[in-house]
Amino acid sequence: MTPLTTGIPSHPGGSVKLTPAALTLDDGASFAGLALGGAVRAEGEAIFITAMSGYQEVLTDPSYHGQIVVFTTAHVGNYGTNREVDQAPEPQVAGVVFHELWLPEAVHWLSEADLPEWLRSGKVGALTGVDTRALTLHIREKGARNGVIAPLSDGAEAARARARAVPSMNGLDLAVRVFTKAPYKLPCGLAPTEEKPVYRAAVLDFGVKRSILEQLNSCGLDLTVWPGDTPPEKIMGESPQGVFLANGPGDPSACSYAVNTARHFLGRLPLFGICLGHQIMGLAAGGKTYKLPFGHHGLNHPVRDEDTGKVLITSQNHGFCVDPDSLPSGVRANMWNLNDGTVEGLSWDAAPAFCVQFHPEASPGPHDSRGLFARFRQMIKEHDAQA
């Protein structure tokens, strides 16, 4: 095929060093722009996100680990960065592509560093001045593609060869790269009362976001966060009253260790899963997962809850999905994406367990579904009363 190449636009860089570069995909398409900070290189699966705010939360979300994130909103970076909104201690994306990156000084009073400075310090391969509309349409039509960000001086053939050599997301365990290497505790900080006791929950970390842990804490749960590959017997040594399966990157079918752990706890303790945790619970029940063409990445996905009849506007970030036709009896797909009809939630008839594909903590995004954390706590309370 004839490579699709966009022209390099002019860009007022000021004192910021910008180098002619391009995002080259494994199908040969190339999208030119200007790399931030010199001869920056990055490689990974290129996906697009429709969020119009919350760029720092996106760039530090471990669920995006190893991906090149393309922002569809035209203008990014004017309010700078603030460490209080980081979802992980450091940036997680392999690279990022903008139509226009704000290069002057940030204009928000809480900003601690300009976005270009933050990207450079985090060693994130950043490309600006790109025709992101053409790039997004290409991904929509061809599906998420592996790609590389590289200076034009590297040569087009070398870039295409590198893009084709990037490992496929299918079968790739990325969670093991981002979950904690040692367990740690996060007390909720609330004084227990007779009316509202504090319960103990184990968090299986596959790349958990800080805001998820904050939501679990705030609803009255003391947390022990475990590496995602921790054997269930070790977790039971801490006597948890509930188990939470976190978000994370990569192919859920590659996380057999997590599937086995979830299967061990199903029916024994209350379980709640989000994103990758949702997919792992679906696999643990005997279902299957598959890769979506270009995934769901944005802050305005409508989801219908069949149990309540309500439609929730949700924040989403995932490339894989549970196959509803593969689920055994007793496991219900009770939430559906109204854009494409894919599964967004599961509920168990005979076990205290549920999971959702979207992110109820948002960060960034709407708060329509934050009540799911309180639902998990209530499930623990009821199970504990019956024990």
| Catalytic one of 188, 219, 275, 355 | 275
pLDDT tens for each residue of 96-143: 999 999 988 888 889 999 999 999 999 999 999 999 999 999 999 999
| Catalytic one of 43, 45, 100, 361 | 361
DSSP of 237-277, one letter per residue?
Answer: TT--SEEEE----S-GGG-HHHHHHHHHHTTTS-EEEETHH
According to the model, what pLDDT value does residue 361 have?
A: 96
Mean pLDDT of 170-182: 97
**Count of beta carbons in the 10 Å neighbourhood of residue 294:** 18
pLDDT tens for each residue of 44-59: 999 999 999 999 999 9
359 is catalytic: yes
297 is catalytic: no
Q: Whole-angstrom Cα distance, residue 179 to residue 234? A: 17
List CB contacts of 30: < 8 A, sequence separation 6 or more.
3, 4, 5, 6, 22, 23, 24, 156, 159
318 is catalytic: no
List CB contacts of 35: < 8 A, sequence separation 6 or more.
18, 19, 20, 21, 125, 126, 127, 149, 151
| Catalytic one of 65, 99, 301, 359 | 359
Mean pLDDT of 32-43: 86
Question: CA 64 → CA 73, 183, 197, 248, 334, distances in Å?
Answer: 18, 22, 35, 8, 26
pLDDT higher than 70, residue 292: yes
pLDDT higher than 70, residue 4: no
According to the model, what pLDDT value does residue 189 have?
A: 82
**Count of beta carbons in the 10 Å neighbourhood of residue 84:** 9
According to the model, what pLDDT value does residue 38 have?
A: 64
Could you tell me the pTM of the whole model?
0.94
pLDDT higher than 80, residue 13: no
Name the residue with higher pLDDT: 15 or 216: 216
Instruction: List, in order of start, the domains of the chain with CATH numbers.
Output: 5-165 (3.50.30.20), 175-386 (3.40.50.880)
Name the residue with higher pLDDT: 196 or 299: 299
